[in-house]
Structures are given as C-alpha cells and as structure tokens.
Amino acid sequence: MQDNVALHAALVRSGPVVPVYILDDAGEGAWSAGGATRWWLHHSLAALDASLRARGSRLVFARGNSAEILAGLVAATGARAVYWNRRYEPGVIARDKEIKAGLIAAGVEAKSFNSALLFEPHTIANKQGNPFQVFTPYWRHCLTQAVAEPVAIKAGNFAAPSAWPESLALEEFGLLPTIKWDAGFYEAWSPGEAGAQKQLKHFVARAMETYADDRNTPGAPGTSRLSPHLHFGEIGPRQVWAAVRALAKDSGVFPPSRGAQVYLTEIGWREFAHHLLFHFPSTPTQPLREDFKRFPWADDTDGEKLRAWRRGRTGYPIVDAGMRELWHTGWMHNRVRMIVASFLVKHLRLPWQRGAEWFWDTLVDADLAQNTLGWQWSAGCGADAAPYFRIFAPVTQGERFDADGAYVRRWVPEIAKLPDKFLHAPWTAPANIREFAKIEGNYPDPIVDHAKAREEALAAFKTLRGHVGER
C-alpha cells in the first residue's frame, strides 16, 4: 500500500474509504490477463485484502463493466469521490477516460494519479516535441528530470463506511488454474507487498553491487526478480529509486556503484517500454516499422516447430532450459528471454507475435509494454531494435553465459551427465558419451541447423534491405 498515490489522496481527503477491485476483462481490451498473471493476481489481491483488514478495512470485489459497477457503488455508498492510479495500456486508457467522464457528469469527483512510473509518457518528448524512439537519448533526457519521493501511508486504521457494499468472494473470480500446472509458482514467488519489500531489501543488500556482472548469468541469483511486483503495483519504481538513493547517502555519489547504475538503467528500459506503447498503441500486434509487415516468415502449417519451442524440445539446451523454466516458474531470466526470442524469430523464422502471445499467457510478469518492446527488439522491427544481422547463436550463448552448465543441468536434466564440453551441443558428443549420458530417445537433436537457419534469416532480412535493420 506504500507509494499508492490514489490511496494516499483518499486518506488525506478524510472520510470513509472503500477500497474496490473490479475484474473487468472486457475493459482490458484484447489483452486481458493471461493464465500466469491471473495466478499472481489472485494471490496479490488476497494479500492486499489481508493488509486492509489489518487496518480495519477490506477490499470489495466486483466483476463486470467498470463504469456500471462504479456507478452502482457510488449510489450505494453515497461516495462523492473516486480515485485510482493510472495505467497506460491503450484499452485501459480508453476505458478510464469513459469512466472519468461518466463520474464527472454525475457530479462525482474523479481523479487519477501516477504510481506506476517515474516519468509518465505524456511528459517526455524530444526537442521536436515528438516521442523518443531510441533508448539512449530518451533515458539521458529522463535523467535531467526530478524523481518524486514515494508517498508514505501512515500507520493506523482507515476510516471505514458505516455499512460495506456487497462484495464477491475472491474465489468467485476463478483466477486460479483448473489444471494444476502452477506448483512451481508457489516455490518461486511470494506475491504481495510484503514479498516485494523482502525481495527489494534482499537485492539491494546482496546483489546490487554485482548486478552489472551477474545479471547475464542465468544460473546465478543475480537479478532483482522485482518485475511481477512492479507490474502489479505491489512496489513502485520510486521506491526502488529511493532504495538505491539511500545507498548513496554516505558517499554522496549517485548511483553509488556500477551495479546500481546498470540496474537503474534497466528501470529506464521499463519506462521506455511504456513511453513507446503510449505513443504507438498498435505495436502489441503490428510492427512499429511498417516495412517489416513484408517479412517472409517460414511455413509452419502444422505448428510442429512452434510446439517444440514452447515445450523446450528444440534440441538447443539453453533455449529448452529457458522455455522449461518459464513453464515451471512463470518467469525466465532476461538473457535467456533474448536467446529464445531470437531463436523463434530468426532460427525458426516464425512471427514474433506468436512468441509474444505465449509469453503473455505464461509469464507472471507479463506486461504489455515490456512484452511488446522485448519482442519487437528481438525481431528487429521496433524502436531501438536489434540490428537485423544480430542472430544469437544458442550454443555460443550457452557456453558464454552458462559456462558451468548450472542453468541447463537444472532445467534439462536429460543431458545433465554430459561433460561441460558437450553440454550446450549434445549432438556433437561421441556415441559412447551420448550412451553413457542416456541421451538417445530422451533428448531431441536440433530441429534446425544453426548455420543454415542463420543464412536463411539473413537472406530474408535482406529482402527488406534499406528499410529494416539499417540506419
């Protein structure tokens, strides 16, 4: 509940406060929550309701059209004001504009606030007054702007209404999966504000200093793992910024270390993703660079290659490890996200939209802005995109970033007995070693040849030469 600007404003206004959560799938537009994020949402809402009850309050649950439900709640409670924190997805922006207009027309004070970003998209522009499309000048400009301090919610009970409006039970939302594929989620995550604060403190105290080096090693705990907490508003970027700033108090240097500087730059990429989505709302499904619509995708009529990628059965261990980590935990290390995305788009030459859809359904931190930026960057069709000739070689990537094989051995146990020399390219191992490791029949050979796939991808990109990948 900390740095919740809308809640803070409601409490300052004084009078009873009725916290409400409305599950409005239709109001989300085409991108309603996927399976993994619905799991997180259930547990996050349960944690929030428990925190509110500890303050003498509670969370009212409702489902349906947000405008209609809010109108009903205003009538039932006699509320004179409705406050909420802004979101920046195109469908949500349109919905919230309609809600605000309806409330104001009914004589109700309607205000939205920023808790989600350091710099709201409409406040940042280049010298020509246009949105940025390259990260470095965008972030350089942002760093000239002041970052607000997070707001603090004081201790003590919240003023409650004399009578609570009707509420659904959280379980009636049906957010948890009916097929129990989520067991690994419980091992990996603690949704809610308490979990977010614990994770931030752990990262700042133990991993921030080495972040610049460790963030690319998927087998090491070198990342913050704050992305789902940030997405669900359980912690805000201003709190993260303040935590890093607090480290600089003694030295007076900000950022206080190279690791802190690199990490804050990653927060900057999160900001940039929202900047792009706000200004280019069609990009979740359409390439920002129009000419990329002509890209010659490969034929996968029966979906065999896409299924192999999804299931972690491509024959390339670092790719398969990432896809299995995703399925088991609802998360994937960022370095590996780039590798598996490059593999789908450039080795298999399948549309980046198919990958974005799969990530949307399976990531607990699925965020429309960041998902879109990441996939368009990997495909080479978005803002500040990877050059067309950058094709991650999965064997080289595995050998470089998982040199000891800790990551691959964890998620691809079928090949765990292979020596390091052959771990990232099992098909190159001699027959006797493959037999010893019991690979035959347990782990597939590569579904595509790297050299051939790279050649075909470059040829495909060259059909767009002068348009995509060249500046």
| CATH assignment at residue 22 | 3.40.50.620
- Residue 19 phi/psi, 5-degree rounding, is -70, 130
CA 243 to chain centre: 21
Residue 465 has a pLDDT of 63
Q: Which two tokens stand for residue 127?
A: 């010298």
Residues 337-342, mean pLDDT to the nearest whole number? 97
Q: Given 172, 297, 435, 442, which residue is catalytic?
A: 297
The pTM of this model reads: 0.95
Same domain flag for 323 and 198: no
| Range(s) of the domain holding residue 226 | 116-149+193-279
Confidence of residue 471 (pLDDT cuts 50, 70, 90): very low
Residue at 184 is within a domain: no
Give the end of a domain, one of 279, 301, 327. 279
pLDDT tens track for 357-384:
999 999 999 999 999 999 999 999 998 7
CA atoms in the 13 A half-sphere facing the CB of 259: 19
Q: What is the pLDDT of residues 89-119, one digit of tens each?
A: 999 999 999 999 999 999 999 999 999 999 9
pLDDT at 470: 42
Q: Which of 39, 189, 352, 360 is catalytic?
A: 352
The answer to whether residue 357 is domain-embedded is yes
Q: Which of 327, 375, 377, 411 is catalytic?
A: 375
334 is catalytic: yes
The candidate with the shortest Cα–Cα distance to 167, out of 7, 20, 16, is 20
- In the chain, the number of structural domains is 3
Same domain for 90 and 121: no
What pLDDT, on the 0 to 100 scale, is given for residue 391? 92
Average pLDDT over residues 218-225: 95
Q: Which residue has the higher pLDDT, 310 or 254?
A: 310
Task: Looking at the structure, tell me whether residues 134 and 266 fall in a common domain.
Answer: yes
Q: Do 332 and 368 belong together in one domain?
A: yes
Among this protein's residues, is 375 annotated catalytic? yes
Q: Where a domain ends, among 279, 314, 332?
A: 279
Residue 69 confidence (pLDDT): 97
126 and 95 assigned to the same domain: no
Q: Which of these is catalytic: 28, 68, 266, 399?
A: 266
- The verdict on 274 and 371 lying in the same domain is no
pLDDT at 180: 85
Mean pLDDT to the nearest integer, 157-181: 95
Mean pLDDT of 50-74: 97
> What per-residue confidence (pLDDT) applies to 469?
44
pLDDT exceeding 70 applies to what percent of the chain? 98
What's the pLDDT tens digit per position in 234-288? 999 999 999 999 988 877 889 889 999 999 999 999 999 999 999 999 999 999 9
Same domain, residue pair 268 and 310: no
Residue 447 domain-assigned?
A: yes
Residues 445 and 320 in one domain: yes
80 pairs with which residues across the strands? none
pLDDT for residue 464 is more than 90: no
| pLDDT band at residue 27 under the 50/70/90 scheme | confident
Least confident window among 124-128, 307-311, 369-373, 379-383 = 379-383
* Residue that finishes a domain, picked among 229, 257, 279: 279
Pair 358, 373 in one domain: yes
Active-site pick, 269, 357, 399, 414: 269
Q: Is residue 297 annotated as part of the catalytic site, yes or no?
A: yes
Query: Among the options 209, 334, 399, 456, which is catalytic?
Result: 334
Does the annotation count 352 as an active-site position?
A: yes
Residue 130 a catalytic site member: no
Average pLDDT over residues 47-63: 97
CATH number of the domain at 256, please: 1.25.40.80
